Amino acid sequence: MSQIIAIDIGGTQLRAARFAMDGQTALQTRRTSTQGDGQTPFERLCDLITNILPADQPVAGIAVAAPGPLDPYNGIIFSTPNIAGWENFPISAKLNERFDVPVWLGNDANLAALGEWKFGAARGHKHVLYLTISTGIGGGVIIDDRLLAGTRGLAGELGHVQIMQGGPLCGCGQRGHLEALASGTAIANFVREQLAGGEKSSLSRRAQISARDVSEAAQQGDALAIHALSRAGEHLGQAIAGFLHTFNPSIVVLGGGVTQSGDLLLAPMRRTLEASVMDKSFLKNLQIVPAALGDDAGLMGALALAHTMLED
């Protein structure tokens, strides 16, 4: 029986897993660093795939999760800030040329949404909103059991809706986006600014402050850290209310390290969400749950993409 190769491309790590056609448990997994050994990231990727190819079975296809923005229809990565040289990079064509099997590409957050829908926390739901909150904020939307992709495959950039006109600078270059107000980077930046403005906190003596530091300080009762998480939660709640109005999902799945802060982030989020919806019917039977796939979201999302493509 044919097998599927799933790939998750990250700025620091490349991961690969091999699955039986109807399996959800990897037969084999491998990982390597994205950069190193005088090889290009693409050469490292090809070596990784070569090392995980089945010995005596055909390969139905290679599914790749990569950081966006990218064109999933033509298999082109527009840019990846952490991988130099991958501007307008035709990764699907290049892998197809090398391995002579179908290659499918998707935005990693979009595919994580697909993975949670197919294998994870959103199984059985037809309408899913997925948000991953870590250094940045990514998203994916499932409508009627299909991933919302858009005309150029760019849909689902839920971190880049504007929440505050003229607000803080976002990683994308615009201002006041959700990512600039509620990501881990935004939370740490907010605390740094408040400290520079003379606020007192247990974090004052730190040379560097990460979102994890803020979360730990908040668990210890630090007022500034609690305020920073609460503020991020409120912005999330405000944004999610807008997403409920737009997509009317039955479940909201929250992934990413920042959500580990728990109720310090999520209680203000729920409060603001409930206060911001245009009608309570948007909240009826709505589930808000943590993501189930963790670090495997990219790989399982790529597997879900392969299944979707092979079924079509």
172 lies in the site for Zn ion, by CB under 5 A = yes
User: Which of 90/168 has CB closer to Zn ion?
Assistant: 168
Stretch that binds Zn ion, among 26-34, 78-86, 160-168, 229-237 (CB under 5 A): 160-168
Alpha helices by DSSP H, listed for 39-107, are 41-52, 91-99
Q: Compute the least distance from the CB of residue 1 to Zn ion, in Å.
A: 43
Residues 77 and 64: beta-carbon distance below 8 Å:
no
Stretch near Zn ion under the rule CB under 5 A, chosen from 56-64, 124-132, 156-164, 199-207: 156-164
Residues near 232 by Cβ (< 8 Å), separated by ≥ 6?
181, 182, 183, 186, 187, 190, 258, 265
What backbone torsions phi and psi does residue 67 show, to the nearest 5 degrees?
-65, 140
Given a contact cutoff of 8 angstroms between Cβ atoms, the answer to whether 147 and 105 are in contact is no
- 158 vs 251 by CB, closer to Zn ion: 158
Q: Between 54 and 69, whose beta carbon lies closer to Zn ion?
A: 69
Identify which of residues 45 and 186 has a Cβ nearer to Zn ion in the complex.
186
Q: Six-digit token pair at 270?
A: 């729920």
| Total of chain residues touching Zn ion, rule CB under 5 A | 5
The answer to whether residue 182 forms part of the interface with Zn ion (CB under 5 A) is: no
Lookup result for tokens 């990764």: 91
In contact, 1 and 57? CB cutoff 8 Å: yes
- Nearest Cα neighbor of 285 from 147, 125, 117, 131 is 125
Which parts of 53-86 fold into alpha helices (H)?
none
State whether residue 44 is helix, strand or coil: helix
Under the criterion CB under 5 A, does residue 160 sit at the interface with Zn ion? yes
Is there binding between residue 128 and Zn ion (CB under 5 A)? no
If one asks whether residue 95 binds Zn ion (CB under 5 A), the answer comes out as no
Closer to Zn ion by Cβ: residue 258 or 300: 258
Which among 12-20, 167-175, 210-218, 286-294 is the span making contact with Zn ion, rule CB under 5 A? Answer: 167-175
Of 177 and 235, nearer to Zn ion (C-beta) is: 177
Residue placing its CB nearer to Zn ion in the complex, 121 or 163: 163
Answer yes or no whether residue 170 interacts with Zn ion by CB under 5 A: yes
Task: Pick the stretch among 86-94, 158-166, 260-268, 270-278 that binds Zn ion (CB under 5 A).
Answer: 158-166
Query: What is the SS3 assignment for 172?
Result: coil
Q: Between residues 50 and 174, which has the closer beta carbon with respect to Zn ion?
A: 174
Give me the residues paired with residue 113 across strands.
none
Task: Name which of residues 56 to 75 contact Zn ion (CB under 5 A).
Answer: none
Q: Which of 118, 177, 227, 307 binds Zn ion (CB under 5 A)?
A: 177
Q: Closest approach of Cβ 160 to Zn ion, in Å?
A: 4
Provide, rounded to whole angstroms, the least separation between the CB of residue 304 and Zn ion: 26
CA distance 78 to 137: 18
Q: In 153-221, which ranges are continuous DSSP H helix?
A: 178-182, 184-196, 211-219
| Residue 161: DSSP 8-state | S
- The amino acid occupying position 205 is R
Residue 307 makes CB contacts below 8 A (sequence gap 6+) with 4, 118
Pick the stretch among 36-44, 108-116, 157-165, 276-284 that binds Zn ion (CB under 5 A). 157-165
Return residues touching Zn ion (CB under 5 A): 160, 170, 172, 174, 177
